[in-house]
Amino acid sequence: MTPLDKALQVFEGSQVELARALGKSPQFIAMIKRRGGHLTTKTVSPEHWAKATGLPKSELFPEFQD
């Protein structure tokens, strides 16, 4: 399961709802999905991903240790 899949589970699979929680477009989520599901930190910080999903950074970003 990719980090994106984990984030989407929080929103019952809704790319639109995840995008809304992040303040991004659904196309942004679709692009991440097309690129393998690894979350980008270029425009959305790890802290913002964690806050929007309620998941720990270490679950979304394996390289992070909370």
pLDDT tens digits for range 3-61 = 999 999 999 999 999 999 999 999 999 999 999 999 999 999 999 999 999 999 999 99
CA gap 62, 14 in Å, rounded: 23
Domains of the chain by residue range: 3-54
Q: Which tokens belong to 14? A: 């809704």
Instruction: Please identify which residue in the block is written with the tokens 């599901």.
Output: 37
Q: Which tokens belong to 42? A: 């270029």
- Enumerate the H helices of the chain as residue ranges: 3-10, 15-22, 26-34, 46-53, 57-60
pTM: 0.91
Instruction: For residue 62, name the pLDDT band (cuts at 50, 70, 90).
Output: confident
Residue 41: predicted pLDDT: 93
Residue 30: predicted pLDDT: 98
